[in-house]
């Protein structure tokens, strides 16, 4: 087959794209380091105001995508900088390597010839730069597509639960098995699409997933890569790259997801004292912009006669608020809350709607503490009501938070 002629403008772009690549990689790395925290905070806000299903999946896949891009651009920038260094030294010494000055003794051997230069190495590194740039960008499109498919599966399950008598778990299980097969097929360079007869079985579902994931937009480029790459070499590099990217994503979100730190080898980190952990998020004066706390008092140390208590309004509390009254206008968030200091119930309390500095909505009240003695005390905030949904009740039967504080008058 005759080789296709490359247009002159495309040749010029390929030969002179390195300046643009350096600019893109440098700017992208700087931006991506900022985006990680913004993305986590945004999803926490979404969870607070809307209770979107599959938020954990969005957090994990989104963070993996960010780390894939970050790592890819870092590798690309490093390779391109190395390429530029080779170009510079090749220009400085146009006569190549002076082998006469290489006087290595056995067993060291010199396989270079006089006048050898770095042109082949420059070309090789240049191609590696292009490959890294392509894989970094295409990985995001693939990851986004798979996320859309998975969120579509969750949407189908939610729809079936709300509008039909179909057992949604069974439908979801079947579609999810096909989804795993679809992911395997993607990672194995289309292996399942090559199997006779079996290809007919998976065709309808795979075609649907192709449409949802917008695969047609990147399929041609992916096939160009798949049909030219040495697969075993690519798989080794891809596994190493994926491990680093997933590990970086894990380190960025394990606290938000309440996962253990797998890299922390301190054996007694959960047995440092008999009392519970003290978290900064339960004290308003230690809140960080963008982060969302559930319940907080004004400070760890109380020096006045009143203590402020703020409770954030989350979407998942709507079911409890619905139970507070048969009249819609009388249904209020504060009616589900019960406050106790040490062994004494605090009532009556006057609650006010409030918006905190990071645009978090909730209710606040001022609790008199003039009768409390100096020293350590504990405030308990709990729900007077329970969730009607049995599945929710099993995981969160009672909304309850315990906050230690100290009085120093």
The domains of the chain are located at: 10-253, 280-407
Task: Output the DSSP codes for 185-197.
Answer: HHHTTSSGGGSTT
392 confidence band (pLDDT: 50, 70, 90):
very low
Task: Give the residue with greater pLDDT, 403 vs 100.
Answer: 403
Tell me the backbone φ, ψ of residue 154, rounded to 5 degrees.
-65, -40
Angle at 45 between CA 391 and CA 329, to 5 degrees: 70
Selection from 353, 340, 325, 331 nearest residue 383 by Cα? 340
pLDDT surpassing 60 at residue 18: yes
State the DSSP H helix or E strand holding residue 368, giving kind and residue range, or none if neither.
strand 361-368
Give residue 10's pLDDT.
63
Q: What is the mean pLDDT of residues 222-245?
A: 89
- Residue 105 and residue 109: Cα distance in Å, rounded? 7
- Report the pLDDT averaged over residues 204-233: 90
pLDDT digits (tens, 9 = 90+) for 140-170: 888 889 888 888 888 888 777 777 766 667 7
Name the H helices within 93-167: 119-163
Q: Is the CB of residue 29 less than 8 Å from the CB of residue 70?
A: yes
* Mean pLDDT calculated for residue range 241-247: 91
Bridge pairing between strands 400-407 and 301-302: parallel
Query: Distance between CA atoms of 362 and 127, rounded to whole angstroms?
Result: 55
pLDDT of residue 259: 85
Please check the confidence at residue 388 and state whether its pLDDT lies above 60: no
Return the SS3 of 251: helix
How far apart, in whole angstroms, are the C-alpha atoms of residue 369 and residue 42? 36
Q: What percent of the chain has pLDDT over 90?
A: 26
Higher pLDDT: 246 or 156? It is 246
- When pLDDT is cut at 50, 70 and 90, the band that residue 71 belongs to is very high
Mean pLDDT of the chain: 84
The answer to whether residues 406 and 377 touch, using CB atoms and an 8 Å cutoff, is yes
The answer, as to whether pTM is greater than 0.85, is no
Give first-to-last CA distance, the chain, whole Å. 89
- Please list, in sequence order, all residues whose beta carbon lies within 8 angstroms of the beta carbon of residue 323, skipping any fewer than 6 positions away: 336, 385, 388
Lowest mean pLDDT among 42-56, 123-137, 186-200: 42-56
Q: Angle, nearest 10°, between helix axes 55-92 and 18-49?
A: 170
The continuous run of DSSP H or E covering 89 comes out as helix 55-92
Using 50, 70 and 90 to split pLDDT, how confident is the model at 297? very high
Q: How much is the pLDDT for 397?
A: 44
Check residue 5 and give its pLDDT: 67
pLDDT tens string 197-209: 989 999 999 999 9
Separation of alpha carbons 26 and 73, rounded Å: 8
Residue-level pLDDT at 286: 87
Q: Which residue has the higher pLDDT, 396 or 15?
A: 15
CATH superfamily of the domain spanning 280-407:
Immunoglobulins (2.60.40.10)
Angle at 289 between CA 50 and CA 28, to 5 degrees: 85
Tokens of 264: 């922390």
Task: Look at residue 21 in the predicted model and tell me its pLDDT.
Answer: 79
395 pLDDT tier (thresholds 50, 70, 90)? very low
List, as one string, the DSSP characters of 212-239. Answer: HTTGGGTHHHHHHHHTTS-HHHHHHHHH
Confidence check: pLDDT of 404 > 90: yes
- Whether 373 has a pLDDT exceeding 50, the answer reads yes
Distances (CA, A) of 301 to 183, 277, 284, 285: 53, 16, 12, 11
Q: What average pLDDT does the segment 100-109 reach?
A: 80
pLDDT (tens digit per residue) in 299-332: 999 999 999 999 999 888 888 888 888 777 788 9
SS3 content of the chain, % helix, strand, coil (to 5): 55, 10, 35
Query: What are the C-alpha distances in Å from 280 to residues 83, 166, 171?
Result: 47, 45, 43
Long-range contacts of 15-21 (CB under 8 A, 24+ apart): 18/80, 18/83, 18/84, 18/126, 18/129, 21/76, 21/80, 21/129, 21/133
- Residue 110 pLDDT grade (very low, low, confident, very high; cuts 50, 70, 90): confident
Closest CA to 172 of 53, 325, 272: 53
Contact 274, 288 (CB under 8 A): no
Identify the pLDDT of residue 391: 43
Among residues 32, 95, 116, the alpha carbon closest in space to that of 66 is found at 32
Dihedral pair phi/psi, residue 401, rounded to 5°:
-135, 140
| More confident of the two residues 356 and 82 | 82
pLDDT average, residue stretch 32-54: 79
């Amino acid at each position: 087959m005759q080789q296709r002629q490359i247009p002159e403008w495309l040749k010029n772009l390929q030969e002179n794209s390195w300046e643009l690549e350096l600019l893109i990689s440098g700017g992208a790395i700087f931006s991506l380091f900022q985006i990680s925290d913004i993305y986590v905070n945004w999803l926490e806000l979404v969870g607070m105001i809307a209770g979107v299903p599959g938020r954990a999946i969005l957090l994990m896949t989104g963070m993996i995508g960010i780390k894939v891009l970050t790592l890819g651009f870092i590798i690309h920038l490093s390779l391109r900088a190395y390429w530029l260094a080779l170009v510079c030294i090749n220009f400085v010494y146009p006569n190549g390597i002076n082998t006469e000055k290489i006087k290595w003794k056995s067993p060291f051997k010199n396989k270079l010839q006089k006048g050898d230069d770095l042109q082949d190495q420059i070309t090789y590194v240049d191609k590696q730069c292009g490959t890294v740039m392509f894989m970094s960008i295409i990985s995001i499109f693939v990851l986004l597509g798979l996320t859309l498919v998975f969120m579509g599966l969750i949407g189908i399950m939610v729809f079936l639960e709300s509008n039909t008598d179909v057992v949604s778990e069974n439908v979801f299980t079947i579609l999810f098995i096909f989804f795993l097969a679809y992911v395997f097929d993607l990672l194995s360079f289309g292996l399942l699409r090559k199997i006779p007869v079996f290809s007919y079985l998976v065709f309808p579902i795979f075609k649907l997933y192709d449409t949802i994931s917008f695969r047609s937009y990147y399929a041609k480029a992916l096939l160009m890569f798949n049909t030219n790459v040495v697969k075993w070499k690519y798989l080794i590099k891809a596994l190493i790259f994926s491990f680093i990217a997933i590990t970086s994503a894990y380190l960025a979100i394990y606290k938000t997801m309440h996962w253990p730190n797998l890299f922390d080898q301190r054996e007694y980190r959960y047995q440092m004292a008999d009392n519970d952990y003290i978290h900064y998020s339960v004290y308003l004066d230690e809140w960080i912009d963008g982060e969302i706390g559930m319940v907080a008092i004004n400070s760890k140390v109380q020096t006045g006669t009143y203590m402020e208590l703020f409770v954030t309004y989350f979407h998942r509390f709507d079911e409890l608020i619905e139970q507070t009254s048969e009249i819609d206008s009388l249904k209020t968030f504060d009616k589900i809350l019960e406050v106790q200091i040490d062994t004494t119930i605090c009532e009556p309390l006057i609650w006010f709607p409030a918006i905190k500095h990071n645009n978090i909505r909730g209710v606040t009240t001022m609790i008199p503490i003039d009768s409390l003695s100096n020293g350590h005390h504990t405030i308990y905030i709990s729900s007077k009501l329970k969730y009607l949904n049995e599945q929710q009740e099993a995981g969160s039967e009672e909304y309850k938070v315990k906050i230690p504080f100290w009085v120093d008058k």
